[in-house]
Structure 1
Amino acid sequence: MFAMHRKLVRYVVLVLTVFLLVFIILKRQSVPTSLSQYWYDPAPLTYSSRDGIESKINEKLNRPLKGEAFSPVITQFLKGKGKSSPGLEIQTQAVSLLKTRDTLLTLKEQDMVQQCKRTAIKDRSRDYGRFFNKETEGIRRTHHTYLNENSLMMEVGGNWGWDAGNFTKLYNPRYIILEPLEPYVEILEKKFENKSNVNVYNLGLGAKNETIMVKIEGNNACATSKFSGKGGNVPIFIIEATSFMTSLGVGVFDVDLLTLNCEGCEFEALNNLLSYNIIENFKNIQWATHSLLKGVKDPIGQYCKITALLSRTHRPTYQYKLNWESWRRKDIK
């Protein structure tokens, strides 16, 4: 009798446990996506293979071309330089010019890195206050007076287009924007729909081709990051930085300004570009460091190595260490 009672209790517990698990699963599925406040319900990923990622990235590379076989912005840019309209062979040519660089630090560069690390926290704290004020913060736009309508500029981390809007008003360059969040790409496309000199790519830049599920963070999603927001339910597609550049033909020609403000992707993108001679095809490189971002591995160490390697070919034109800075190729005044 007692044994039967114990079996009944175990059976009841088992049934209740199953009901509880079903309830939890259904409850979690009913929670709205974290991007619902931005009127966007991401489609579920239906692929998991490497080939699926490559296919999706290629699709996103073709999205802004509006029926043309090659980027109209790059075509305009090269015509402005007096060169004939390029075909897809420019991509093959760019890849053929690509060479790896030795990223092993010299003894002098190792000393530079160690000195950088020793003063990093003090430098970051000091320069944060110097940069983030009404008088100074706009330097990331007003500093680039060399830009004009025949220049080529790339922005990584377009968000809703605050910087892009200012750059186009100030200089109206040929403009390539990368933004990994779909709804903000739609905002950017709408904002620049009448600007034939602007292309928007629904991609992020990084060290390799990958898909990351992220959480939406910050005002207007401005703090969304593959590092701090990993594990969310919004997919972003990231393309290897050098592959993206050669797909546009960079290497055959130079880019006047590459500006990166992408919540930590700066480290991956710059490390990748610095591994190849393509880094020499960027006349000016500007970036925000996001060195306090949760999830970035050894941001100070990465920053110090990046600046040491970059100093081989470029020099700072303004520098608020571990906050914002811009570097210019050494052969340019």
Structure 2
Amino acid sequence: MVLLIFIFNYSKNILCDKNRNIYNSTCKTSIDSYKKCYKHVIELVPNENVANGIETYFFLKNQLKTIDKTLNISLYWNQDDRLKPFTNLISSKNQCQILYVGANQAGTDGIEFIKQYQYCHVWFLEPVLQFYDKLIHSDKILRELNTGKHHIYHIGLSNKNHLIDVTLKDIQESEAVTLVGKQDNQQYIDNQQKYKLILRDIAEILFEFNILSKIDNITFNGELNLLHLNCEGCEYDVIERLINTNLTKYIRIIQFGSHRPSTIRSSINQRYCCLQQLLSITHQLQFGIPWAWERWLRYDLINKND
């Protein structure tokens, strides 16, 4: 698996200190590891219009039909990896909080986490009303919500609190809706039927949900066991916000699907490689393919037996 080895080595080559304040760090685009990452992610995209790894796979597969060659999907897409068993997800206190961002219409990943990890409380977050409505009418999810252990909220996450207008066309065109860049296009949808979507600041939500609590202005108590992001591009704003507020060190595992939303595509390679570099200060990459799924484990949990 050449691509996975490359990304793993890239992460390992960053000089890291798990006790370092990440908000004092900036992305260094001049170092070799960044340049290698940038070159690598560009080479993975055969067409500027693809949004993720599965689209890349189908694009290349269609091209190869004419020359009768096969294509290894695992080089571009690793969807099944996101449900692999976690290393040190739960502490010895058997306390566990999972924030699941982008539950979509079925909440599939959250249901799987509930099945696999009995001590975990799962927070389902979904900002699109039509998707949220299906979630709260799902027998599987209602059964879990009725236990009082799990929660569902009609919100998305971002780097600040704001309302986003989306049109019915936005929702109907895809099974997953990207909200990235929507706030910059409000003037174009004034005459269309639109829906208000609520995006909340991840740095505030961690405290509002009592996952973290303040001891003083610089010291916090608690931790989030898993941040699981499948939000069609919000991963950049969310993780960058966590980095800038020095909150990544309070998250045991960060797992996300990386996307290439059209509205930020011109800067997406740089943002992706900077996330790789800065996450490496507090976490180690467990697996990952750009424009697919990746998992990061906090350094103090590596080789630890809770």
Calculate the TM-score normalised by the size of structure 2. 0.67
- More strand per residue: 2
**Deviation string for 1:266-309 (max 9, x for gaps)?**
11111111102211001000001112x21125111100001100
Corresponding residue SS for 1:177: strand
Structure showing greater Rg: 1
User: Which residue identity does 1:111 align to in structure 2?
Assistant: D
Higher relative contact order (CA 8 A, sep 6+): 2
Residues 1:278 and 1:295: Cα distance change in structure 2 (over 3 Å): same
Partner of 2:5: none
Structure 2 Cα separation of the partners of residues 187 and 304 of structure 1: 35
Q: Does 1:294 align with 2:262?
A: yes
Deviation at 1:138, TM superposition (A): 1.9
Structure 1 runs not aligned, ≥5 long: 1-98
Aligned to 1:328: 297
The equivalent position to 1:176 in structure 2, one of 123, 140, 147, is: 123
- Residue identity in the other structure for 1:223: A
Contact 1:241–1:273 (CA<8 Å) still a contact in 2? yes
Q: Is the 8 A contact 1:263 1:290 kept in 2?
A: yes
In 2, Cα distance between equivalents of 1:111 and 1:259: 29
3-state secondary structure, aligned to 1:295: helix
- Shift of residue 228, structure 1, vs aligned partner: 6.8
- State the partner residue of 1:151: 96
Alignment of 1:101 with 2:23, yes or no, is yes
Aligned mates of 1:282, 1:247 — CA distance in 2:
16
Match of 2:57 in 1: none
Q: How big is each residue's C-alpha offset from its partner over 1:225-273, in whole Å with a ceiling of 9 and x where there is no partner?
A: 2137665512101111111112223242111110100011111111111
Across the two proteins, how many residue pairs are aligned to each other? 231
User: Aligned Cα RMSD in Å?
Assistant: 2.8
Alpha-carbon contact 2:101-2:228 (below 8 Å) kept: yes
Deviation at 1:174, TM superposition (A): 0.8
Q: Determine the structure 2 residue equivalent to 1:227.
A: 180
- 1:3 is aligned to none
> Which of 111, 122, 129 is the aligned partner of 2:43?
122
Task: Tell me which residue corresponds to 2:161.
Answer: 209
User: In 2, Cα distance between the equivalents of 1:164 and 1:220?
Assistant: 24
1:259 is aligned to 228
- 1:105: Cα distance to partner? 3.1
Q: How does 1:244-255 map to 2 (within 5 A)?
A: 244-249=205-210, 250=212, 251-255=220-224
| CA deviation vs aligned residue, 1:109-165 (integer Å, no higher than 9, x gap) | 7432222111112246697521677xx522211232645674211111111212112
More helix by share: 1
Task: Return the alpha-carbon distance in structure 1 between the equivalents of residues 146 and 294 of structure 2.
Answer: 31
Residue equivalent to 2:113 = 167
Paired residue for 1:51?
Answer: none
Q: Is the 8 A contact 2:282 2:298 kept in 1?
A: yes
Q: CA deviation at 1:222?
A: 3.1
Q: TM-score, normalised by structure 1?
A: 0.62
Query: Which sits farther off after the overlay, 228-237 or 192-201?
Result: 228-237
| Identity percentage of aligned residues | 23
Cα distance in 1 for residues equivalent to 2:231 and 2:53: 20
Deviation string 1:70-115 (CA, Å, 9 cap, x unpaired) is xxxxxxxxxxxxxxxxxxxxxxxxxxxxx881232357x7432222
